[in-house]
Amino acid sequence: MAEPSSAKIVAGHKLRRLRSSLKLTQAEMANELGISASYLNLLENNARPVTVPILYRLGRTYDFDLRDFADDDSLRMTSVLKEVFADQVFEDVAMSRRDIQLLANQHPSAAEALISLHRSYDLMRDAAYGGEQKDENFLSPRPIESVRELLETSNNYFPELEEAAADCVRRINLSPGKKLYQLIEHLEQKYDVTTRILPTDVMGNLLRDFNQHRKQLLLSESLKESQRLFQVAAQIGLLGYSDSVNNIATSAKCEDEDTENLLRMTLSSYFAGAVMMPYGTFLEAAQETRHDLDILSSRFTASFEQVCHRLTTLKRSDERGIPFFFLRVNEAGYISKRLSAGEMEFARNGGGCGRWIPHQAFRNSGAISVQAASLEEGQKLLTIARTCLAPRTQPAHYGTPMYVVALGCDLKFAKNICYADSFVNAKTTALTPIGLGCHICERQNCQHRGSPPRGHKLRFDISRRHSGLFTSG
């Protein structure tokens, strides 16, 4: 078969990173690929595109997934850089959208360094505003951000945990309708840990409490069956498969104990999801049902959120699912959890976009909302969102916390998703123009805008009244 030669990929930084990981000089890698060292140098510096024939040579010579290498992450970096340059500290720096794109495309290492420097500055600025004295250790990222970055670096996929979960499922031989009983029984027989369901007035705000001294796992009565199942499976992961969890946590080289503890919690949750929804079986069901989230929830005794989260982890090189992104939005519009995918990157500060369906789904409580949208950079997204209720652990008159879970992907995957049939069958798809946050979005005349783009000066004309306060500039 002839090697295609039309596709071009600018990914010099990835090529350089691959060579560094293999501990090869440019001359050595060039020799193994059958190209000149000078040509390899041009590729690494983005002076020449990495063509498909070069990708084929890389794939034949080295053991790595070509799809990960070919994924264009410049759009993700561009969105992060836009937020960095939207900071008021750069208000006197005139960086056009084109300038930012060139920085992300042609100098990704410099862009990553700038992003890292800005995050450190942001941490020190927060400390200064709070009147706190901080040493240099404060420059370490916050635990939540550190763990998020690890998940992004790992593409939210951990083969070691997948293998551990598969081993657990084989040992217990989980059966539909009996999973919770079987896991509780396994926890008692294998680890001598009994499980008790206690009233909320005893548990308080705790949903799960493991008493190591008494060998008891205490669960709140506010948890539904799928949530109890998840918590028991997570505890089995921490007890029976701690080696797998510890290996990943140790290799991550966390900055402090809090970050390491949060990472272990996150990894045990990953393990629990993999036990409840075994990789191959779940992927086959997702494809068969065209990602019908309600059917998947029923079939695997899982919540809507658990199913959405699991769909983001199907990254096995020879058995891949759709590259979904995931986010959770609370009633105040704050994104409390996010998992990026491919080119998608969420704003880390400021409010979200009022046009985007995750922020509008509160209007249709309990119903699944679907939206086809376009970002400023041209990406077309399909987003599915629905409200969920958190386990209520406080008095009824406080109200039950509600949040929105959203699952999304590139619109090109719409034909494989049952909720998108209206978009696929339509002659033209009406796309809602959205942004990742008002402070970094430059769309004009948006009635949903809650603040002006940073660096833009508002102007007011007494003879005119616009539909929104921030459309006057």
Tokens describing residue 20: 């560094």
Give phi and psi for 80, each to the nearest 5.
-65, -45
Q: Is the domain defined by 322-440 classed in CATH 1.10.3470?
A: no
Alpha-carbon Rg for the chain in angstroms: 24
25 φ/ψ angles, rounded to the nearest 5 degrees: -80, 165
Residue-level pLDDT at 64: 66
pLDDT interval class at 59 (50, 70, 90): confident
Task: Give how far the C-alpha of residue 7 lies from the chain's centroid of Cα atoms, to the nearest Å.
Answer: 28
Q: How far is CA 196 from the centre of its chain?
A: 33
Compute the average pLDDT of residues 449-471: 73
Supply the pLDDT for residue 3.
39
Q: State mean pLDDT over 207-222.
A: 95
CB proximity list for 394: less than 8 A, separation 6 or greater:
205
Query: Which of 12, 4, 10 lies closest to 40, judged by CA?
Result: 12
User: What is the pLDDT at residue 6?
Assistant: 41
Residue 371: strand, helix, or coil: strand
pLDDT mean over 238-246: 95
Distance (Å, whole) CA 428 – CA 31:
50
Which residues does residue 194 pair with via DSSP β-bridges, in sequence order? 216
pLDDT for the residue 113: 82
Question: Can you tell me the distance from the alpha carbon of 249 to that of 266, in angstroms, rounded to the nearest whole number?
Answer: 10
- What is the reported pLDDT for 69? 65
pLDDT one-digit tens code per residue, 118-136 = 877 777 776 666 555 555 4
State the CB neighbour count (10 A cutoff) for residue 38.
10
* Neighbour count for residue 115 (Cβ, 10 Å): 14
| pLDDT tier, 54 (very low <50, low <70, confident <90, very high otherwise) | confident
Please report which confidence band the pLDDT of residue 314 belongs to, taking 50, 70 and 90 as the band edges. very high
Average pLDDT (195-211) is 94
* Rounded Cα distance, 18 and 43, in Å: 13
Fold of 159-311: Arc Repressor Mutant, subunit A (1.10.10)
Residue 336 scores a pLDDT above 70: yes
Q: Which residue has the tokens 């369901």?
A: 197
Q: Residue 55 has what pLDDT? A: 83
Q: Mean pLDDT throughout 52-65?
A: 80
Give me the torsion for CA of 155, 291, 360, 97, rounded to 10°: 40
pLDDT for the residue numbered 350: 55
Local confidence band at 425 (pLDDT 50, 70, 90 cut-offs):
confident
The percentage of the chain sitting over the pLDDT mark of 70, rounded to a whole number, equals: 87
Per-residue burial over 265-304, b = 16 or more CB atoms within 10 Å of its CB, e = otherwise: ebbbbbbbbbbbbbbeebbebbeeeebbbebbbebbbbbb
Judge whether 186 and 236 are in contact, CB under 8 Å: yes
- Per the listing, tokens 């036990």 go with 275
pLDDT band at 67 (very low <50, low <70, confident <90, very high): low
Number of Cβ within a 10 Å radius of residue 398: 9
Q: Rounded to the nearest 5 degrees, what angle is found at the Cα of 155, between the Cα atoms of 152 and 159?
A: 130
Residue 147 reports pLDDT greater than 70: yes
DSSP string of 162-225, one letter each residue: HHHHHHHHHHHT--TTTHHHHHHHHHHHHH--EEEEE-HHHHTT-SEEEETTTTEEEEETTS-H
Please give the Cα distance from 242 to 239 (Å, whole number): 6
The pLDDT of residue 272 is 97
Tell me: domain 8-70, CATH 1.10.3720.10, correct?
no
Q: Token digits for 291?
A: 């990602």
Is the model's pLDDT at 370 over the cut of 60? yes
Check residue 349 and give its pLDDT: 57
Q: How many CA atoms lie within 13 A of 472 on its CB side?
A: 15
Q: Is 324 left (phi over 0), alpha (psi -120 to 50) or beta?
A: beta
Residue 138 has pLDDT above 50, yes or no: no
So what's the pLDDT on residue 1? Answer: 35
Confidence of residue 93 (pLDDT cuts 50, 70, 90): confident
> 154 phi and psi, to 5 degrees?
-85, 5
Residue 118's pLDDT is 81
Question: Which residues, at least 6 apart from 209, have a Cβ–Cβ distance to it below 8 Å?
Answer: 203, 217, 218
Interatomic CA distance for residues 308 and 387, integer angstroms: 13
Most confidently modeled range among 201-215, 334-348, 451-465: 201-215
216-230 average pLDDT score: 96
What pTM was computed for the model? Answer: 0.76
Res. 224 pLDDT band, cuts 50 70 90: very high
Q: Taking residues 113-120, what's their average pLDDT?
A: 81
Asked if the model's pLDDT at residue 471 lies above 70, the reply is no
Q: How far is the C-alpha of 130 from the C-alpha of 292, rounded, in Å? A: 47
Binning pLDDT at 50, 70 and 90, where does residue 413 land?
A: very high
Point out which residues pair with 433 in neighbouring strands: 374
Between CA 432 and CA 384 the distance in angstroms is: 14
Where residue 71 falls among pLDDT bands split at 50, 70, 90? low
Q: What is the pLDDT of residue 340?
A: 74
User: Does the pLDDT value for residue 342 go beyond 60?
Assistant: no
d(CA 215, CA 111): 50
**Hey, where are the domains in the chain?**
8-70, 74-139, 159-311, 322-440
User: Does residue 193 contact residue 235 with C-beta atoms inside 8 Å?
Assistant: yes
Report the pLDDT value the prediction gives residue 110, as an integer from 0 to 100.
83
Mean pLDDT of the chain: 84
Closest-CA residue to 87 (of 399, 440, 406): 440
**CA 55 – CA 44 distance, rounded (Å):** 13
* Residue 369 φ then ψ, to 5°: -110, 145
